[in-house]
Amino acid sequence: MLQSPRSRGPSPKRPALSGSASFEPSGAFDPTDADTAHPVLHPGRVAVITGAASGIGAAAARELAALGMKIALADLPAALPALTALAADLADLVGEANVLVVPTDVRVLADIVRLRDTVYETWHEVGVLMNNAGVGGEEGTSLDNLSAWHAVFATNVLGVVAVQQTFVGAMLHQENPAMVINTGSKQGVTNPPGNTAYNASKAAVKSLTEGLAHELRTRAAAGGAGSVSAHLFVRLSSSSFFPRPRPLLHLANPSPSPGWTYTGLTGAHSGGAKPAGAWTAQETVRHMLARVAAGEFYVLCPDNETGPEIDQLRIMWAAADVAQGRPALSRWHRDYKALYEEYIREGQALASEGALML
Ligand SMILES: NC(=O)c1ccc[n+]([C@@H]2O[C@H](COP(=O)([O-])OP(=O)(O)OC[C@H]3O[C@@H](n4cnc5c(N)ncnc54)[C@H](O)[C@@H]3O)[C@@H](O)[C@H]2O)c1
């Protein structure tokens, strides 16, 4: 895990455990820069975005339109007013003929097929498929609220698979390369206690997107036609949106409040200023596009509270639960609290010296 060339004692150099990390977002992806020109994130190519009426999806639509891409906006029929308003803004950027609004419930296969057919009949290709629609849903714990599990899996898992299966076959038949970006969550990687149903749904998105990436590259290596890459966009959700674990279900306090992207899913629709720890959806999307343009599969998004080194340490700690046979979710286990905190302190100290090797 942590590989330190020496063992460390307490050091005044060590940053505070809950210090406010500041991490500058990656620069926006710039298609006019010859060094970063990208065959998919490119003027004139087509982007299809589910969950486009709000938050990350809407920000992605704006950013991709700003690149000169044609945009198909898909969201629930109930979100039509928001989709229409966004489409009007995008039309100012790219022209009315380059924006489509297709009300689509990703839980309904006929809707997804209609979305695909409308896009191909209009523009004959898809460059970016942003498979982003998702719900937080009611809290679904391990012991109750089966209906919450059904609801969150219907959109976050089966909806993602249905969109992927409906589009990717067609994208593979295109001459030009294309990409699929599935929106997961760090909650599907580190599994913080709370909304277990949501965590499990996002763990499934991680798993199914890894499988997709493998199948696509195996197919390409075997000389299969078409070139489609897959990417997993991983955000951390707000602990204020997802309730804290109940006292009886955990023994140690969860870590300091994690950062997040301020969107409809995390309370932005109730008004108020963006909390300092959160990134805006635009910052998140710009970071994501820069990483995807660089060819990365796992796109982890930091924010103003949680820098990339903390993310890496938390992920390594979670993986070590499995590899070392520790109790499940030991990060929140009172017997491991001191060890975990020491691990994070040491990792941060090494990171600040440029010596963190994971
Ligand atoms: N905001 C965060 O911090 C955060 C963190 C981790 C993951 N995510 C993920 O990011 C994605 C986007 O969420 P957001 O934060 O922008 O939230 P948001 O609520 O602002 O946007 C989600 C959009 O998905 C749409 N949607 C929901 N169910 C749908 C369905 N069945 N069919 C079509 N559209 C549907 C909603 O109407 C909404 O417009 C989700 O997959 C979410 O799980 C967000």
Distance of alpha carbon 335 from alpha carbon 328, whole angstroms: 12
Q: Is residue 320 part of a domain?
A: no
Residues 267-276: contacts with CB within 8 Å, 24+ apart?
267/238, 267/240, 267/241, 268/55, 269/54, 276/304
Ligand 1 touching residue 75 (CB < 6 A): yes
Q: What's the CA gap between 217 and 9, in Å, rounded?
A: 46
Paired with 347 in beta bridges are none
The answer to whether residues 182 and 289 belong to one domain is yes
Residue-level pLDDT at 236: 59
Cβ contacts of 137 within 8 Å, gap of 6 or more: 148, 151, 152, 195, 197, 198
Domain presence at residue 323 = no
Determine the structural domain holding residue 12 and report its residue range: 1-21+328-358
* Phi and psi, residue 132, nearest 5°: -120, -20
**Same domain for 339 and 247:** no
With 0-12 / 13-18 / 19 or more C-beta atoms within 10 angstroms meaning exposed / middle / buried, residue 329 is middle
Residue 28 included in any domain = no
Ligand 1 near 112 CB (within 6 A): no
pLDDT, averaged per 10 consecutive residues of the chain (358 residues), comes to: 37 34 47 72 97 97 97 98 98 97 98 98 98 91 94 98 98 96 95 94 98 96 90 67 29 32 66 70 92 95 80 93 96 96 92 76
Which of 70, 120, 186, 198 is an active site residue? 198
CA of 97 to the centre of ligand 1 (A): 26
pLDDT of residue 119: 98
We report the CATH number of the domain holding residue 189 as 3.40.50.720
- Assess whether 243 and 180 both reside in one domain: yes
User: How far apart are alpha carbons 204 and 158 in whole angstroms?
Assistant: 10
120 catalytic residue (yes or no): no
Known catalytic residue: 343?
Answer: no
Q: Which residue lies with its CA nearest to atom 10 of ligand 1? A: 183
Calculate the alpha carbon distances from 302 to 132, 155, 250 in Å: 18, 25, 26
Ligand 1 pocket, 265 CB below 6 A? Answer: yes
Sequential DSSP letters for 214-266: HHHHHHHHTT-S--EEEEEEE-PPPTTTSPPPPGGG-SSPPPSPP--EESGGG
The rounded Å distance from CA 265 to ligand 1 centre is: 6
C-alpha of residue 251 to centroid of ligand 1, in Å = 31
The Cα–Cα gap between 119 and 240 comes to 38
pTM for this predicted structure: 0.85
Pocket test for ligand 1, best of 135, 209, 303 (most atoms within 8 A of CB): 135
Answer whether 306 contacts ligand 1 (Cβ < 6 A): no
Q: Does the CB atom of residue 274 touch ligand 1 within 6 A?
A: no
> Could you give the CA distance from residue 358 to residue 181 in angstroms, rounded to a whole number?
25
Q: Is residue 295 part of a domain?
A: yes
What pLDDT is recorded for position 225? 82
Q: Which residue's CA is the nearest one to ligand 1's atom 29?
A: 133
Asked if 297 and 231 count as a contact pair (C-beta separation under 8 A), the reply is yes
Two tokens, residue 133: 């629609």
Distance CA 260, CA 271 (A): 16
Q: Are residues 337 and 248 in the same domain?
A: no
**Other residues' Cβ atoms within 10 Å of the Cβ of residue 291:** 19
**Does any ligand 1 atom lie closer than 6 A to the CB of residue 174?**
no
pLDDT of residue 29: 59
Tell whether 72 and 154 lie within a shared domain: yes
Residue 33 has a pLDDT of 64
Domain count, the chain: 2
